[in-house]
Structure 1
């Protein structure tokens, strides 16, 4: 019990001493501390505003990049389809040319047979 009462007396004495120190500190540095607190608050508000603006800009940039990637993907698909169509056309033309050679070969064979008769 004695220990508890001694502890509470020591705690009260520390609180009184702390309040006296705080009063002296406020007398000496009161205006400066208020000015510093005001400046710190301004700095914190600026940081918050910049962070919010940065987040907003980052979100817009990501959305812009996503749109550009979607456009690029669409363009690539379109180009791929065009190239496939061109390739199919070229292959069809080659097939026609080969068919023409076959026809030419048969025609030459007929001419050769006619000349032999």
Structure 2
């Protein structure tokens, strides 16, 4: 019983403290408390609206960035393919211009044989 008696006054003290705080709020703010609460709710709603708007803007920017990255990747792949083709063409031209030593040697031997005949 002694413990229950101790808990009850503490609960009563807590309720008294809350009611005293409410009474002090009422004395300080009076009728304006409703107006303040309304303004706080308006500010809270404005913040939530701005948050939603920012989230939408972030999603739009993300989509645009992903599209730009995809376009850039495609462009780079096209340029790499063009460079590979150009390099292959130039390598083929060099192969055609390159002196084939065996063929040149054979031609010199044939020329030498014709001169000696």
The equivalent residue for 1:50 is 50
**Between Structure 1 and Structure 2, which shows a larger proportion of helix residues?**
1
Report the TM-score, using the length of structure 2 for normalisation.
Answer: 0.72
Q: Secondary structure at the match of 1:90?
A: helix
Report the TM-score, using the length of structure 1 for normalisation.
Answer: 0.72
Q: Alpha-carbon deviation of 1:61?
A: 0.7
Aligned length: 117
Name structure 2 gaps, 5 residues minimum.
none
CA RMSD of aligned residues (A): 3.2
Pair 1:8-2:18 in alignment:
no
Q: Secondary structure at the match of 2:42?
A: helix
Mapped partners of 1:21, 1:93: distance in 2:
94
Name structure 1 gaps, 5 residues minimum.
none
The equivalent residue for 1:97 is 97
Counterparts of 1:25-36 in structure 2 under 5 Å?
25-26=25-26, 29-36=29-36
